[in-house]
Chains A and B, each alone.
Chain A
Amino acid sequence: LAERTASRKNVNLMQLVYGKSASESSNEKEDISEKEESEDDEFFKPKGEGNKKSKEGIDDGNVDIEDCSKFIHYASEKDWRSEDLIESIRNRFVTGDWSKAALRGQVSDV
């Protein structure tokens, strides 16, 4: 089961990045036909359309998004002063448990 979930996740990540694969072409066709329908209406609502588009753009965050590689993590909101959190990443440091860290390395090699 774990394997299956892993593989599903794998597909999802690929899809997330590269979008749907060719097997979903039927969906695309539907999209096209929808577009054709909407073309008739286009004449009447150029302004509303524009607004909608720009709104969608913001939702997707992709049309005029600021060009910036820095990404502020939500993790930064954690309060790292607390002992529990410190302990949770201790094994990522040389002061932590080396055998556990080695295990981590091994798992990743497979």
Chain B
Amino acid sequence: MGKISYMRLKGSQNLRLRLLLSTLSSTPILIEDIRADATWPGLLSHEVSLLRLLEKVSDDCHVEINETGTKLKYKPGIVMGGRNLVHDCGVSRSIGYFLEPLIVLGLFGKKPLTIRLNGITNDSKDPSVDTFKSATLPMLKRFGVPPEGLELKIESRGVPPHGGGEIILSIPIVQDSLKAISWIDEGMVKRIRGISFSTRVSVQFENTMIHAARGILNHLLPDVYIFTDHKAGPQAGKSPGYGITLVAETTSGCFISADTAVSYASGKEDGMDDEENKELSPPEDVGEQITSMLLGEIEQGGVVDSTHQGLLFLLCALCPQDVSKVRVGQLVPHGIEVLRHIRDFLGVKFVIKPDPSTMTVILKCVGCGLKNLSRKIS
């Protein structure tokens, strides 16, 4: 085996992004100092799980972790895709954590990807599976991803701490490359849709959340409809909880989303401060809080919400060598990190211009022209 030159990186930050970009650009990476000073040093269980997932969907990829897990060598392989894959995402992070890199990776595979993911479907940290279904997937279509075979099916739900949810994700491959876009018209909000869910608690929680959300939204728009999704029995996962996802659709076809979920203490805190977390925030507050978040996102005036900024930039950078132009609200820390990593891995630099009249930011870039090479080799 010849010597491989690794791109050297430090720290545990943005691991998903680094692995994703490394795979897309076929750059081997070496990450050191992963939580070297922390009480629990090294990679966490969800990060290891993510690496396993990468091994599952790609061929000839090579992962090497040292004993303490503070050093990681990753040599990307070819993304294969394939049907009937299964992956257990564990319960330290929700399925959304895994979906974010996976949906981009799947596009550049050899075969369309169909995978069954088990774990937590909704929590307050990562975008919920409902957000992916109603806001993220439509966004992919804008970039020329074929709508056939682009699907996310929620089989059962699960909230922290014990999860038990299950989804099936289908991602088609792009035949050649993505399509550059000019996407600066954010439009006006024409309808708001939402979905609330409850697992192992009374359906009344949902009704209260919806009532609170509608109470604010109906001042602005009559076209508000929030579905309920009460799960019972095995479909409700292993833990009690409830939550809500709201998506605003604009006249120009943008989807602005906000979501949250409430459940008993998640992950490690379990057992330690069980007593403190006994109190869940009441459904009324949850409804109002999520509505405020949605309105806050709408006020920003971007074509995507702040959660999707990173994905938007990434897709723009992966476009063929053509100019893409997008409008977003205030840049969020994650979006900025994505921009920096795009420059490091793909060599794409954005031109960032504020638009003072609308308090938004316009970004322009020329894509790196990533072709779906896995497909051509076949």
Using CB atoms and an 8 Å cutoff, list the residues of chain A in contact with chain B: 2, 5-6, 9-10, 13-14, 16-18, 50, 54, 57, 61-65, 67-73, 75-81, 83, 85-86, 88-96, 98, 101, 104-105, 107-109
Nearest Cβ distance between residue A71 and chain B, in whole angstroms? Answer: 4
Give Cα distance in the complex from A6 to B296, angstroms. 24
Q: Is the interface of B mostly helix, strand, loop or mixed?
A: mixed
CB–CB B185/A69 < 8 A: no
Give Cα distance in the complex from A71 to B309, angstroms. 10
CB–CB A94/B127 < 8 A: no
Q: Choose from A6, A10, A50, A86 the contact partner of B219 (Cβ within 8 Å).
A: A86
Give Cα distance in the complex from A71 to B298, angstroms. 14
Q: Identify the closest chain B residue to A72 (Cβ).
A: B293
Give Cα distance in the complex from A89 to B296, angstroms. 9
Q: Identify the closest chain A residue to B184 (Cβ).
A: A108
Listed from nearest, the 8 A-B pairs whose CB atoms lie closest are A75-B296, A63-B11, A71-B332, A76-B293, A13-B352, A93-B189, A80-B292, A94-B190
Q: Identify the closest chain A residue to B35 (Cβ).
A: A64
Given contacts A73-B297, A93-B220, contact A67 B185 (CB under 8 A): no
A-B contacts, 20 of them at CB < 8 A, read: A10-B354, A17-B352, A54-B37, A64-B35, A65-B13, A67-B14, A70-B125, A73-B297, A73-B306, A75-B292, A75-B293, A75-B299, A76-B292, A85-B295, A86-B219, A86-B220, A88-B299, A91-B188, A93-B189, A93-B220
CB–CB A92/B298 < 8 A: yes
Q: Identify the closest chain B residue to A63 (Cβ).
A: B11
Q: Choose from B37, B220, B301, B333 the contact partner of A71 (Cβ within 8 Å).
A: B333
Chain B contacts of A107 at CB under 8 A?
355, 357-358
9-residue interface stretch from B139-147, B167-175, B197-205, B334-342: B334-342
Chain A contacts of B308 at CB under 8 A?
69
Give Cα distance in the complex from A70 to B308, angstroms. 8
Q: Is the interface of A mostly helix, strand, loop or mixed?
A: helix
Nearest Cβ distance between residue B333 and chain A, in whole angstroms? Answer: 7
Give Cα distance in the complex from A5 to B356, angstroms. 10
Chain B contacts of A57 at CB under 8 A?
11
CB–CB B358/A104 < 8 A: yes
CB–CB A95/B220 < 8 A: yes
Give Cα distance in the complex from A41 to B23, angstroms. 41
Q: Choose from B12, B251, B307, B352 the contact partner of A70 (Cβ within 8 Å).
A: B307
Chain A contacts of B216 at CB under 8 A?
80-81, 86
Q: Identify the closest chain B residue to A70 (Cβ).
A: B307
Q: Identify the closest chain A residue to B14 (Cβ).
A: A67
Query: Within B270-302, which residues are at the interface with A (CB < 8 Å)?
Result: 288-289, 291-293, 295-301
Nearest Cβ distance between residue A99 and chain B, in whole angstroms? Answer: 12
Given contacts A9-B356, A107-B357, contact A61 B292 (CB under 8 A): no
Scoring A14, A62, A71, A86 by chain B CB atoms within 10 A of each residue's CB, the highest score goes to: A71
Chain B contacts of A10 at CB under 8 A?
352-354
CB–CB B354/A71 < 8 A: no
Give Cα distance in the complex from A89 to B192, angstroms. 15
